Structure 1
Amino acid sequence: MNTHFKLSSLAACLTLAVAGAQAAGPLFLNNNPANLQPLRWDMSQGPIKVYTDIGAFSRKNDGTVFLSEAQANNITAFSLKQWSSVTTSTWRAETDPAKFTPFSQVPSIGVDVKDGATASLVYGHYNEGGFYVIYDVDGRVLEEFFGVPRDQVLGIAMPEIAEDRDGDGYPETIVKATAVMNGWTVSHESPPPGQRSQPPADVNGTRYAGIFTHEFGHAINLSHSQTNGQLAYFSEPGFGRDLYPGVVGCVAPVHHWLKGPNDSHIDPKNIETMFPFIDPKNVAKGRSPGFEMSTVDRADDIAGISNLYPTADYLSKTGSIAGTLTLKDGRTGFSGINIIARNVKDPLGDAISVMSGDQTQGQIGPDGRFRINNLKAGESYQIYTEEINVGGYPTQPTMLMSQPEYWNEGESNDPRVDTACLAGAIKAEAGVTKTADLIFNGHTDGVQYSFLTAGYLTSLSDDGQRAGGVIGQDTPFVWDAQTGPRLLPQELDLLASALSTMTGDGSQMLVEANFDGQTQWDPDGNPFTLKQMALWNYDSNALTPLGALSNHCDSWGGHISSVGWGMNRKGSAAVGYSTYENADGSCGEFNSQLGTLSVVPYLWTADKGGRPLRLDGLNMDWMPWIRAAGVSADGGVVVGQGNGENAYAWIKEGAPIDLTALTGAYVADLVSNDGLRVPLATERGVLLWNPTLGTGPSAMRSISAPKYCTDFPFPSWDGIDHCKVEGAAWVEANFGVPEQQLNGISDDGRVIIARVGSFFTSIAGFMWVEDLGWLGLNDFFRKQGVVEAERYGMENPIAVNGPGNTLVGGVTGLQMTWHVDMKQVYVCEGGANALVAFPTQAAAKVKAGARLGRCEIN
């Protein structure tokens, strides 16, 4: 007896795209770790039997039938015939509509499937096996059964049930597949005369047929692919949205089939059927991507089905290229990168894509293997790497951790000789598999830029080998160079915006934890436990409470009585904010002079415990909160801010110093370990304040700040490059100095990292180094030859270690963290490259006349 396995609810869905290792890979594997294989239909019993829905497929606005059941059956037959007619594939299905079995003749169904309830008669049941096609006339099946919006998803199909016929406990044979086609999205009304805002009616469903053919590909067990579709739907001139049929900078861009210069439009006929987006509505110059994607005539789609169901002579008649994509070490395989082979003579018309590791889909760990079949014998092909642009894939798409590049005969990791545009051509031979291993480019010396993990790392140990941060908004974790990421106990919290939360030796982290175990209730009656600042020990998992000013007052930021924001490198002093209670036990006012202040700055030291910092003398009007954010090694210098726009300092726990009133500073979060340098962000630039010199002009040193036009661009909402038109002085006069978000400082204060700019203009990552000034991080990486940073760079550096030679950060808004080891950097001295220690030795060399960066890079 064969055992049936219901496959996961992975929905291979096709998404509406409107204006604005093998091709297609397998969708499902048998999950046998000892012998991973794609699921396949058994073709030894003849064509797959087809069952179709009854009732209309699409209706007009007035409720009359637009596409009938018979018309829908004709589209089904047409699309199945496309896949069944591939000469190098053995897959076949019934393609005669007269031989389709309507649902009314299937005893276990027997009705028109039109909503979630009737869909449950099809899904989850073997019924009679075969392929079941639902005509969802108004999108209710999609919305009620699958929970997806009918105006965004055009169809969903998948192999649904598979059998274990060889008795190994894993299913390998598909016995039932289903497809639901969204008739609600069919263009059924023609626009009024002279009006072009609406596409013409799809009278016979010829444009919508592309969705049928695509979804039926999933039922065959084909995944998505990305070969030309990304060019056709997402490449638009300007705004950084140009896409290329090759490596960026090596070939000219090709644009959206409707947009861009006419001579750069891609012809819709070149879009592969299994690309995950489609435009079934629009027609231009008689061409429709909806129709073009309904035909299986692209090399990529033909390779996809032929790889799963090859004829006996398929591989002997065509050529193949196989290899492995590895990191720059040449050993570690890397999954999830798109690899495309393009015919040198016909790069758009003859192209096939694969994903590295698509035959194992991450089930055996990193796998960089790929294989490209169906290459025309006698033709020459170039292969290159790119990221998956968008869409769902069973092999997890990954970020390109290097520069995109072509394969060449001298493939290596050295970007000086293996340049991105250096391309080799491989001549395909019938029945022969050529080898082409790809290695990510990147230097193994000098600055090392490495992707670490998904999440925000916000603090670093002094040696740069351990970092702490958060996943999501407050789930703390630690990354360790030897053991990788580790989640802290789930009952602990850490705010994503908190800085300096790890000790210099990496042994402890500043977190929030509950110690009394008592349950409280919020105003809605929901239970919670109140948390407070604590130190968590990496090795022992032990917690040390850092106290709070109240054991029952709940902060506006959550069920927390005290929050840690920063601490010194030894963990002997920590700062943040705390709730408090009045003499009568109520929560809120610290004293009658402070209005409705909800939380107050809080200092904890190992010798004295926790206490509030003074607030006397401050103007507390409209000041709902003040927090302490940074503390020196001895706890004597504390800085912080209030209400997100005022900066304060406390020296030896004395009266607060209003740094905003003194300097115009709008933030003070950082202090050097010795307390001698406090960077202050102001509207005129960054000041370095030495608290030991008082608060007069002699205590303040300007270190300027990056500027628009000269240090990074100023893209304007009006589309005008004002840097070119009016000049840098005009931009500064009208828009000022870019905002500085100062995120980290080295122990000696000689290195400061910052995110500069705003979401309304542009954002860039910078690093200030004593004697070197402000360095744009992306320019610094470029001059150091860090090709891995070309694609993403670092616009949001978040933390720097004590010595100032390692930092972590990423891209604003993305929970992705890169690790930058700068312990040694290159300077060009006397025309020769020299590796020197950073930052002190590098700064001294530059001061003596050397240039920061490799000599061969301008």
Structure 2
Amino acid sequence: MNTCFCKFPLAAALLAAASLAQAAGPLQLTEHPRNPQPMRWDTSKPIQVYTDIGPLTYRDDGSVFLSNAQADKITAFALKQWSDVPTSTWKAVTDPARFKKFSQVAGVGVDVKDGDTAKRVYGQPLEGGIYVIYDQNGQVIEEYFGVPKDQVLGIAFAEIAEDRDGDGYPETIVKATAVMNGYVVPHEPVPADQPWMPPPDVDGKRIAGVFTHEFGHAINLSHSQVNGTMAYFSHPGYYEAYPGVPGCVPALHSWRDEDPSAKKIDPKYIETMFPFIDPTFPDANGRNAGYEQSTVDRSDDMAGISDLYPSATYAKTRGSIAGTLFLKDGRTPYGGINIVARNIADPLGDAISAMSGDKTQGLVGPDGRFRINNLKPGQKYLLYLEEIVAGGYPTTPTALVSEAEYWNSNEQSNAANDRACSTSAITAEAGVTKTANFYFNGYKDGVQYTPVVYGFLGSMSKDGERAAGWIDNKPFVWDAKNGVTWAPDGVVGVNTSITRDGRKLIVQADLDGRVIGADWEGLPMKTNSATIWDTRTGGLTDLGSLNRDRCGGSSQIGYSSSYGWALDSTGRTAVGTAYVDRNGDGSCEGGWSGDSTIGGEIIPFIWTAGRGMRALSLEGIDLTTEPWHRAHAVSADGRVVLGNSNFMKAYAWIDEGRPVDLYKAVGAVDGYAMTPDAGRVALNTEKDGVVFWNANKGSKSSAFTKFKQMQWCVDMPLLGLDISCETEGAAAIQQQFGPIPVQVADISDDGKVMIGSAGLWFSGLRGVMWLEDIGWIQLADFFRTQGVAEAYRYGLDGPGSMNAAGNEIVGGIPGYPMSWYVDLKKAFVCKHGNSTEVSFPAEFVDEVKRGARMGRCEHLRIAAR
């Protein structure tokens, strides 16, 4: 008989709610290449249970807090929850007197309490059944599994399976293990001076939810997301979760939220298999999620176990909904999205979910199929899509590359005809499976919005074919035809500027392996320096430093003797930050560390092929008040360099001459984007918003061009710092803050299109686009009126770069490692009541100037409503 030791699945860990979720589908499948099936227990007799011989946890003084007998009682309670589901055949021994103790099992015989003793259980055949470890101090969690004991409450999974059907792939579970972390159990009285501490869990009722959840994994149930996101993560003004599609139903918030006006969910509705739990604090009414999640009384959990171990009457007495989730092309299946059915009459108490593709988990290719069972006959259900929020799953959660929506009988991809809030109730019938396919909303013409890579894309070749980015400090190139190419080992960087032809990138590397000292742990400290990576040949060119690698500056990528920021069109010119030791103290960060008497140790550099690296002039600048400078952009021909000092003043260098003080000239604080000839340089100023500078005209007043800017409270609200447009009034806000600042990321070659992020960090950033003769447009508004449903949820608030023509963009969301490619070559205007596709940007702008409205007529009408 073929036997396998199953892999440790990520989804088996239950996380503390303080860390950062499908009815629970199968956790582990067989390895059959064409027809994987869920692993299952043999339910012809109750599953034997083996329990540890020590207590669950101790008090701080070393005395027992929850004894072995109490732990066994909690185990029996939790197993009984699953064993008593009437539509399931799965049963376990639930009488503590019939549990077998580890001392009775040959090969174990000890109290399992650390990594070494855990090896007597894990990976050993032993006798068939479920083995329950009481990890008194969290040592098994940390020493055997290598995870923090204060973040993981328990780990369980089916460990050994046998091939009993003779197909060569083990499918019958014969042994499972579960470790319960006693370290996290509140066990001390609340000190008078620390009333915020959790009260002791004297009878283990709060930790019982962890037991029930972990035994769900031992049964082979995955995680589940139905009501848990509302209960744990939803807070007004922060993140809001909904019992349906956002914008169609009001949000529900955590029962723990302190806002008295917040509409809160009762913790009794949390599904047991949600991957987060709080077994510590009861609320003001004595309710606790750990206790509520210890009972298996939610439709979703009962569906999970009944789907795996159905009773003879389960399918005959319950209704089902099945279908496939497709992309907007109507052909390509899409997995990893949560699909929820809610009973209209009891939307929280009777809700069941499934994850598209959860029955194959990506093992047989793209799979968008889903099936939801355990529906009550005669009841009406609404079906909708949502993303998985957090937690571990055997089916990889994916981004909702369209808008969240309800299913309706007119289900289709046309975003105007298939509105997100349009619903059609599905009436459940006993023994009948209703079909409900989903199609992501989106158009095949007009603006195309495509997710391309998990990472941050920030620089695009001017033909639009390639873009440079990074993830976890590792640079890469995304190619429209060939996908992602990673930088060579040892290469790091986050300022991955790419040349116009997409061939070369500015990165960081340590090519000489020079050790310049020891870090605070006494480990050898190496320094990297600005480097050019030729992606065609794989070659690396070290740009060197101005201090012979003797010192540098520290950042998220390590210790750098020079730091590259940008390249010209061919990669023959590079600019960035260099470090020098002006006063001979062995440090190169004078002024940055707070000592303003030392300036000029962090300076701008320019490097050119053949001449190497040299410092740009700081002549005329008071280095005691402006102690550090950088160069961060360069024109296509390498003549004009942009930079700033102390994040406060913008400077430029033309043909390596004296610095041009752009702050003094026009109040500019920074600037990154310019046309190839630097005839239009987009400067971000303090009082006038974005101002154009023609670098070819020097710094005289005629070189600068001002134009209309976005205004607070008119184009965008101001929120935060206890002020708002409503409390202060638009005029006062405008007088105090001036126009909305825009960080321009890129500009088209003709200077007629710009993209960037508008706003302030504390008030939120929004992606914007500027079109000559039209002005500023919020990208979210542009995408919505164009009917780009894929952008409704993720609206490109962090646009990174564009092609030469200004009709291809890459970017993402500030701080979120996901990037999109936007094809703007065609867009729609509403002309004489008809949606008309035109070329972008020239024809689009001309039509709007002649009176057409921006967008599809259908979506302009939707927006008006």
What TM-score do the two structures reach when normalised by structure 2? 0.90
With 404-413 and 558-567 compared, the bigger mean Cα shift is at 558-567
Letter in 2 for 1:522: I
Q: 1:243 aligns with which of 222, 238, 241?
A: 241
- Correspondence 1:731-750 to 2 at 5 A: 731-750=733-752
C-alpha contact (below 8 Å) 1:19/1:258 kept by paired residues: no
State how far apart, in whole Å, the 1-side matches of 2:621 and 2:363 are. 60
Cα-Cα RMSD: 3.3
Letter in 2 for 1:763: L
Letter in 2 for 1:327: L
Q: Equivalent residue for 1:24?
A: 24
Q: Equivalent residue for 2:637?
A: 634
State how far apart, in whole Å, the 2-side matches of 1:769 and 1:75 are. 66
Letter in 2 for 1:484: G
Offset at 1:367?
A: 2.0
Query: What secondary structure sits across from 2:735 in the alignment?
Result: helix
With 477-486 and 357-366 compared, the bigger mean Cα shift is at 357-366
Offset at 1:254?
A: 3.1
Offset at 1:224?
A: 0.8
State how far apart, in whole Å, the 2-side matches of 1:479 and 1:178 are. 43
Q: 1:658 aligns with which of 658, 661, 673?
A: 661
Q: Equivalent residue for 1:523?
A: 517
Q: 1:164-211 CA deviation, whole Å, 9 max, x = no partner?
A: 455666432322211122334444556699998566654433333222
Offset at 1:728?
A: 1.9
State how far apart, in whole Å, the 1-side matches of 2:551 and 2:168 are. 54
- Correspondence 1:661-672 to 2 at 5 A: 661-672=664-675
Offset at 1:529?
A: 7.6
Q: 1:520 to 1:373 in 2, by over 3 A?
A: same
C-alpha contact (below 8 Å) 1:578/1:601 kept by paired residues: yes
State how far apart, in whole Å, the 1-side matches of 2:616 and 2:499 are. 23
Q: 1:16 to 1:722 in 2, by over 3 A?
A: same
Q: 1:624-672 CA deviation, whole Å, 9 max, x = no partner?
A: 5433333333333222223433322222333221222222211132221
Q: Equivalent residue for 1:121?
A: 120
Q: 2:499 aligns with which of 495, 498, 503?
A: 503
Q: 1:168 to 1:734 in 2, by over 3 A?
A: same
Q: 1:276 to 1:533 in 2, by over 3 A?
A: closer
State how far apart, in whole Å, the 1-side matches of 2:525 and 2:64 are. 55
Structure 1 position 274 matched with structure 2 position 276: no
State how far apart, in whole Å, the 1-side matches of 2:76 and 2:64 are. 20
Offset at 1:686?
A: 1.7
Letter in 2 for 1:648: Y
Letter in 2 for 1:41: W
C-alpha contact (below 8 Å) 1:577/1:602 kept by paired residues: yes
Q: 1:265-317 CA deviation, whole Å, 9 max, x = no partner?
A: 43433322111222334155465433332222222111111111223443233
Q: Equivalent residue for 1:476?
A: 475
C-alpha contact (below 8 Å) 1:123/1:178 kept by paired residues: yes
Q: Equivalent residue for 2:443?
A: 443
Structure 1 position 12 matched with structure 2 position 12: yes
Q: 1:80-130 CA deviation, whole Å, 9 max, x = no partner?
A: 122122232222211111110112222322222233333333223223231
Letter in 1 for 2:661: D
Q: Equivalent residue for 2:701?
A: 697
Q: 1:203 to 1:565 in 2, by over 3 A?
A: closer
Q: Equivalent residue for 1:104?
A: 103
Q: 1:763-787 CA deviation, whole Å, 9 max, x = no partner?
A: 2222222112222221222222222
C-alpha contact (below 8 Å) 2:527/2:549 kept by paired residues: no
State how far apart, in whole Å, the 2-side matches of 1:201 and 1:545 are. 60
C-alpha contact (below 8 Å) 2:248/2:421 kept by paired residues: yes
Letter in 2 for 1:639: L
With 420-429 and 177-186 compared, the bigger mean Cα shift is at 177-186
C-alpha contact (below 8 Å) 1:614/1:655 kept by paired residues: yes
Q: 1:13-57 CA deviation, whole Å, 9 max, x = no partner?
A: 22333799962011122233233222222234x221111112333
Q: 1:325 to 1:63 in 2, by over 3 A?
A: same
C-alpha contact (below 8 Å) 1:533/1:562 kept by paired residues: no
Gaps of 5+ in 2: 591-596
Letter in 2 for 1:785: G
Letter in 1 for 2:46: P
State how far apart, in whole Å, the 2-side matches of 1:701 and 1:398 are. 45
Q: Equivalent residue for 1:380?
A: 380
Letter in 2 for 1:681: N
Tell me the number of residue pairs that the alignment of Structure 1 and Structure 2 aligns: 843
Letter in 2 for 1:827: V
Q: Equivalent residue for 2:294?
A: 294
C-alpha contact (below 8 Å) 1:519/1:528 kept by paired residues: yes
State how far apart, in whole Å, the 1-side matches of 2:542 and 2:766 are. 38
C-alpha contact (below 8 Å) 2:21/2:225 kept by paired residues: no
Structure 1 position 795 matched with structure 2 position 797: yes
Query: What secondary structure sits across from 1:667 in the alignment?
Result: strand
State how far apart, in whole Å, the 2-side matches of 1:546 and 1:273 are. 57
Q: Equivalent residue for 1:556?
A: 553
Query: What secondary structure sits across from 1:627 in the alignment?
Result: strand
Letter in 2 for 1:127: L
C-alpha contact (below 8 Å) 2:529/2:543 kept by paired residues: no
Q: 1:181 to 1:589 in 2, by over 3 A?
A: closer
Q: Equivalent residue for 1:843?
A: 845
C-alpha contact (below 8 Å) 1:452/1:818 kept by paired residues: yes
State how far apart, in whole Å, the 1-side matches of 2:255 and 2:560 are. 54
Q: 1:551-584 CA deviation, whole Å, 9 max, x = no partner?
A: 65554355656544223344454433456799x9
Q: 1:463 to 1:94 in 2, by over 3 A?
A: same
C-alpha contact (below 8 Å) 1:588/1:597 kept by paired residues: no
Structure 1 position 716 matched with structure 2 position 720: yes
C-alpha contact (below 8 Å) 2:11/2:223 kept by paired residues: no
Q: 1:522 to 1:201 in 2, by over 3 A?
A: closer
Offset at 1:609?
A: 6.5
Q: 1:182 to 1:561 in 2, by over 3 A?
A: closer
Query: What secondary structure sits across from 1:506 in the alignment?
Result: coil
Q: 1:730 to 1:43 in 2, by over 3 A?
A: same
Query: What secondary structure sits across from 2:668 in the alignment?
Result: coil
Letter in 2 for 1:749: G
C-alpha contact (below 8 Å) 1:3/1:165 kept by paired residues: no
C-alpha contact (below 8 Å) 1:342/1:351 kept by paired residues: yes
Q: Equivalent residue for 2:35?
A: 35
What TM-score do the two structures reach when normalised by structure 1? 0.90
Offset at 1:12?
A: 1.7
Query: What secondary structure sits across from 2:553 in the alignment?
Result: coil
Offset at 1:435?
A: 1.7
Query: What secondary structure sits across from 2:408 in the alignment?
Result: coil
Letter in 1 for 2:174: V
Offset at 1:220?
A: 0.7
Q: Equivalent residue for 1:323?
A: 323
Q: Equivalent residue for 1:725?
A: 727
State how far apart, in whole Å, the 2-side matches of 1:671 and 1:613 are. 19
Q: 1:664-685 CA deviation, whole Å, 9 max, x = no partner?
A: 2111322211221111111111
C-alpha contact (below 8 Å) 1:156/1:179 kept by paired residues: yes
Query: What secondary structure sits across from 1:670 in the alignment?
Result: strand
Gaps of 5+ in 1: none
Offset at 1:521?
A: 1.9
With 62-71 and 678-687 compared, the bigger mean Cα shift is at 62-71
With 551-560 and 173-182 compared, the bigger mean Cα shift is at 551-560
State how far apart, in whole Å, the 2-side matches of 1:268 and 1:706 are. 44
C-alpha contact (below 8 Å) 1:21/1:358 kept by paired residues: no
Query: What secondary structure sits across from 1:816 in the alignment?
Result: strand
Q: Equivalent residue for 2:593?
A: none
Letter in 2 for 1:480: D
Q: Equivalent residue for 1:207?
A: 206
Q: 1:479-499 CA deviation, whole Å, 9 max, x = no partner?
A: 122222221322434x3235x
C-alpha contact (below 8 Å) 1:615/1:655 kept by paired residues: yes
C-alpha contact (below 8 Å) 2:322/2:436 kept by paired residues: yes
State how far apart, in whole Å, the 1-side matches of 2:189 and 2:31 are. 48
- Correspondence 1:445-594 to 2 at 5 A: 445-473=445-473, 475-493=474-492, 495-498=493-496, 501-512=497-508, 518-524=512-518, 526=524, 528=526, 531-538=529-536, 540-542=537-539, 552=549, 555-556=552-553, 563-571=563-571, 573-578=573-578
Q: 1:796-841 CA deviation, whole Å, 9 max, x = no partner?
A: 1111211111212111111211222222222223333222222232
What is the percent sequence identity of the aligned residues?
Answer: 53
